[in-house]
Amino acid sequence: MDFSQLEQTLFDITPSERRYLKNERPNYIDNHHIITRGIEHIFHFRYSTLPTSSQEGTVDFFIRKQSRFTPVPNHITDYIELNYVYCGQSQQYINGKEILLTEGDLILIDTNAAHAVDSADYNDIIISININPDYFRKHFLNRQQNHSALTQFLFQAISDSQNHNQYLLFRKQHSSHLRLLFQQLLCEVYDPQVLNRMVLNHYFQLILLELIRSFSVEANGTSDDSHKQQLTLDILSYLSTHYTNTSLESCAEYFGYNSSYFSSLVKSYTGQTFKTLLQNSRLEASIPFLLNSKQPIRDIALEVGFSNLNQFYKLFKDKYHQTPADFRRQNKHSG
């Protein structure tokens, strides 16, 4: 399947959409549980009701085009929902807040966030990926080499939060590669080839990694401190790319703060000192060198910003519970 064939497939009227055009509506009442939240009754959509068997091997996530010509009522889920606007727009309501998504936008919605969607028109193509929350722990959060502060902030917010009522909204200007990745993913969905299970999983992981790289989140959940969370993201991202030679003073200057105030701000926002965040960024940066190069450990320590080799060894062992040499020896073949 090429991209022009994919476009035609996406815009084709499906059997269910034909029914909706005749003013027939989905039977949510008989097919889904209803829960009470305050004075409101909302539906509870369950992952077990999704036809995952129609996509070989995608047991941890289910990919579909949202049906047009009918609204989706207010609901919560037991899965994480990713909605990508492939074409057109989508008016969504999350925890009562109106959010207009336009072409190229993507939103990641946690399990307990009440969520409704207005009826889509012919030109509105919305791709949904329904994700078992365990997917993040299995494929991202349990890998030491992926334990960057930025990765943890994004995906713990959506999979390990206490209230599970958050969302992360990514606007299209932050990633030019996302559409291509979705096109490749969808071609595999609609025209599965050999190794379909593996290919789907890899494309999906590339999409998630692209989101981590684009990282500029417009809105994060229902909290009133979105500026705090955005600044935290910006600081963590800055450290992830400037860890070698940055300092408290230079970082504070970059963000336009007095260094003393900036130090207090970082501790207040992240719960860690600037020094700890910087050291962790340097430790995280050392992992690819340990796994994918034959550089001496002393050179790696200098490369990522540690002038004191003993300090590097001590901090590495405190964080990863083994020496850099042991870590390299045990993980280089799986890295």
Query: What are the pLDDT digits (tens) for 214-237?
Result: 655 554 454 445 567 667 778 887
Query: What are the pLDDT digits (tens) for 72-124?
Result: 999 999 888 999 999 999 999 998 899 999 999 999 888 888 999 999 999 99
Alpha-carbon distance of 226 to 232, in angstroms, equals 10
pLDDT at 331 over 50: yes
Query: What are the pLDDT digits (tens) for 235-269?
Result: 887 888 899 999 999 999 999 899 999 999 999 88
Residue pair 245/285 in contact (Cβ under 8 Å)? The answer is: no
Alpha-carbon distance of 157 to 168, in angstroms, equals 9
**pLDDT at res. 227:** 64
| Burial zone of 40 (CB within 10 Å; 0-12 exposed, 13-18 middle, 19+ buried) | exposed
CA 276, 280, 285 angle in degrees (round to 5)? 150
Residue spans in the chain of domains classed CATH 2.60.120.280: 3-220
Residue pair 286/272 in contact (Cβ under 8 Å)? The answer is: no
Which residue intervals of 138-273 are DSSP H helices? 149-159, 178-190, 196-214, 226-242, 248-255, 259-270
**pLDDT at res. 174:** 59
Q: Which homologous superfamily does the CATH classification assign to the domain defined by 226-331?
A: Homeodomain-like (1.10.10.60)
| Burial zone of 310 (CB within 10 Å; 0-12 exposed, 13-18 middle, 19+ buried) | exposed
Alpha-carbon distance of 179 to 203, in angstroms, equals 12
Q: What percent of the chain has pLDDT over 70?
A: 81
Query: What are the pLDDT digits (tens) for 3-57?
Result: 999 999 999 999 999 999 999 999 888 888 898 887 788 999 988 877 654 444 4
For tokens 């990633």, the residue is 175
Is the pTM value of this prediction over 0.85?
Answer: no
Q: Which homologous superfamily does the CATH classification assign to the domain defined by 3-220?
A: Regulatory protein AraC (2.60.120.280)
**What mean pLDDT, rounded, does the chain reach?**
84
- Report which listed range, 151-165, 226-240, 297-311, is most confident: 297-311
pLDDT band at 156 (very low <50, low <70, confident <90, very high): low
Q: Is 217 helix (H, G, I), strand (E, B) or coil?
A: strand
> β-strands 72-77, 40-45: how paired?
parallel
pLDDT at 189 over 60: yes
Residue spans in the chain of domains classed CATH 1.10.10.60: 226-331
